[in-house]
Amino acid sequence: MSPDLEQALAARLLALADDELILAHRNSEWTGHAPILEEDIAFTNIALDEMGHARIWYEQLEALQGADPDSLIFFRPAAEFSNVRMVELPPGDWAFSMLRQYLFDSYELVRATQTLESRYRPMAEAAAKIRPEELYHHRHTALWVRRLGLGTEESNGRMQQALDSLWPAVFQLFAPLPGEEQLVAAGYVPAPAQLQAAWEREARPFLEDAGLRLPPDPQAPATVAPRSEHTEHLEPLVADLQEVARLEREAEW
Amino acid sequence: MSGSAVRDEESVPAPGRDTQWPRYEVFQRSREGGPVHNIGTVHAPDAEVALQNARDVFVRRPQTHTLWVAPARSILTRTREQLEEEPDWRQKMVTEEVPVKAYFVFHKNSQRRSMHYVTLCGEVEATTPVEALGKALDRYDEGESFVWWIVPADALARSEDEEIESMFAPAEDKEFRLPNQYRTRTLMREAIREAGEDKGQS
């Protein structure tokens, strides 16, 4: 593998890992607070699954470049995280968290499906493991989005509000990373445009059938914020995530 | 419980007391062709959510092949004692008459198993749950059963075979660890040990 290709692959793996980790942390904030006990268990379980996916990608990065996952998670400054903005936003209300998870799950499912044939073997293997879990997550969150969207005036209103604020942010998931075209050419990752098209074919009609109005399409992809730029919400999240580890760096676990 | 043949707790309004969704009974078959056991209950607004909740609450770890759910209020339940207290229950219990349909019969005949409650023992056809209970007793009672459940087949929602891969398979290779299996060596534990040593020395 050429150094350029390796660098592009490392950036993609880190982006995949960071998205999962930050979303998992946000979801874990519902533990003990979800609307009903059954959902508390379910959503915590989904958060754990995403944490497991993060681990897969961090470990692949470690295998590629030797970066220690624990250092990346617990001792990296917030400014160096490369997650998309939508996953760092505060949990909001239940509609917001369910819709965010649906948008992410439907994206992750499409990505996993299109990665099954990756010519970078570890990625193809990861996709085969992740995909069944995403089928289940997707089923769970789609079920909630539909019920809230088609429920009462209030639940529909809250879901619409969540969609209005999340819709422009979701397209950052499909923005190519620097050097991504090399990964696509090598057959390692799906082409971003192909990924986005497949996702839109599923998400747009689904959301409309759930009684929601799709907001106007966001800006052109070229103007999507880079993953190095974050909202003010990431720093407190990372501080929270790293608080215990930073208390005693040398502690053994 | 006398009078109505169906559990009626959900039909009794309890304003300000119970804000829960209706209860669903959850049945599990761990492997293809294996026994079907009742393993607990979940709350859900409808059968689809009930199946999903059942998966999350009960089968994140153990092996599962199929899950069934049925609204608790659709199930006729009787214990041996209840039937003995009401000797003419076959005549007295009134249930709405419907065209002949299938009912699944569950019973409990052992106190040994603590992880599940009743187990599927057969299927009968009847026009009412009471008639189904009568047929169940005639056909399946070997003197040991002390709880009977009559579940209308059309009240059951079941997971599909195609769903095994996403609903149940991922749980199988997930490690379950009890808190005491984490090898944590915390500063606190060290501090306690050191404090103990100091005491011993003084």
Q: What is the pLDDT of residue B109?
A: 86
Residue B4 has pLDDT above 60, yes or no: no
Tokens (6 digits) for A244 = 């215990």
What is the per-residue pLDDT for B63? 76
Contact A126, A60 (CB under 8 A): yes
> What's residue A220's pLDDT?
62
**Across the interface, do B184 and A136 touch by the CB < 8 Å criterion?**
no
Least CB–CB distance from A38: residue in B42, B167, B170: B42
- Rounded distance, CA A14 to CA A10, Å? 6
Look up the ipTM and state it.
0.82
Cα A143 from Cα B117, distance rounded (Å):
29
Residues of A in CB contact (< 8 Å) with B are 36-39, 41-42, 45, 49, 132-133, 135-136, 139-140, 143, 147, 248, 251-253
Which residues from B are below 8 Å from A when comparing CB atoms?
20-21, 42-45, 48-49, 52-53, 55-57, 60, 165-167, 169-170, 182-187
For residue A162 the two structure tokens come to: 């969540």
Please report the pLDDT score of residue A221 as a whole number: 55
Residue A59: which residues within 8 A CB-CB, separation 6 or more? A69
Distance CA A95, CA A118 (A): 34
Q: What pLDDT was estimated at residue B106?
A: 95
Q: How confident is the model at residue B68 (pLDDT cuts 50, 70, 90)?
A: very high
CB spacing of B167 vs A45 below 8 angstroms: no
Residue A22 φ/ψ region, left for φ over 0, alpha for ψ in the -120 to 50 degree band, beta for the rest: alpha
At residue A231, the pLDDT reads 95
CB atoms within 10 A of CB A235: 15
Segments of chain A scoring below 50 in pLDDT: none
Give residue B95's pLDDT band: very low, low, confident or very high (50, 70, 90).
low
More confident residue, B169 or B89: B89
What pLDDT is attached to residue B13?
44
* 3-state secondary structure at position B64: coil
Bridge partners, B152 (sequence order): B103
Query: What does the alpha-carbon distance between residue B151 and residue B70 come to, in Å, rounded to a whole number?
Result: 8
Above 80 in pLDDT, residue B130? yes
Instruction: Quote the pLDDT of residue A1.
Output: 86
Secondary structure (DSSP) of chain A: --HHHHHHHHHHHHHHHHHHHHHHHHHHTTTTTSSSHHHHHHHHHHHHHHHHHHHHHHHHHHHHH---HHHHHHSS-GGG----GGGTS---SHHHHHHHHHHHHHHHHHHHHHHTT-SSHHHHHHHHHHHHHHHHHHHHHHHHHHHHHTS-HHHHHHHHHHHHHHHHHHGGGGSPPTTHHHHHHTTSS--HHHHHHHHHHHHHHHHHHTT-PPPPP-S-GGGSPPTT---TTHHHHHHHHHHHHHH-TT-B-
